[in-house]
């Protein structure tokens, strides 16, 4: 019997999404937008329920991701994928994640 490749799945549930490599992705419905401690807008992503609790993951407030926010709304089903990681412009800074955001209009939901 021959082996076949298995595609990597999305990250298991966590409160915060911290992608580290190209190809990592996360998907779910936008539950809300909030501001972090620095005043940057972040997405709260609904990823299901477990034992009656909502599974909500906060997406990072990276500049490349923030540029998509004007075209997204609460209830949208999105997939966010890291497509590239660029070296920082200056020593001591963090690498820059580049994202692709896709939306599935058929999976839109309204939250109470």
Residue 44 inside a domain? The answer is yes
Residue 14 inside a domain? The answer is no
Residue 48 inside a domain? The answer is yes
CATH of the domain at 42: 2.40.50
Residue 50 inside a domain? The answer is yes
pTM comes to: 0.87
- Give the Cα separation of 52 and 71 in Å (integer): 31
Residues 44-55: tens digit of each pLDDT = 999 999 999 999
- Give the Cα separation of 56 and 13 in Å (integer): 8
| Residue 5: predicted pLDDT | 83
Domain that residue 83 falls in? 25-106
Q: Give me the number of domains the chain comprises.
A: 1
Residues 75-101: tens digit of each pLDDT = 999 999 999 999 988 888 889 999 999
Nearest to 75 by CA among 109, 105, 46, 103: 109
């Amino acid at each position: 019997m021959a082996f076949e490749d298995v595609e990597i799945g999305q990250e298991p549930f966590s409160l915060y999404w911290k992608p580290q490599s190209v190809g990592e992705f996360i998907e779910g419905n936008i539950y809300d937008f909030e501001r972090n401690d620095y005043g940057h807008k972040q997405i709260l992503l609904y990823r299901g329920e477990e034992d009656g609790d909502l599974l909500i993951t906060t997406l990072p407030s990276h500049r490349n991701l923030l540029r998509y926010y004007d075209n997204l709304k609460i209830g949208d089903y999105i997939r966010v994928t890291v497509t590239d990681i660029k070296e920082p412009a200056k020593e001591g800074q963090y690498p820059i994640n580049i994202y692709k955001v896709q939306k599935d209009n058929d999976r839109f939901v309204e939250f109470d």
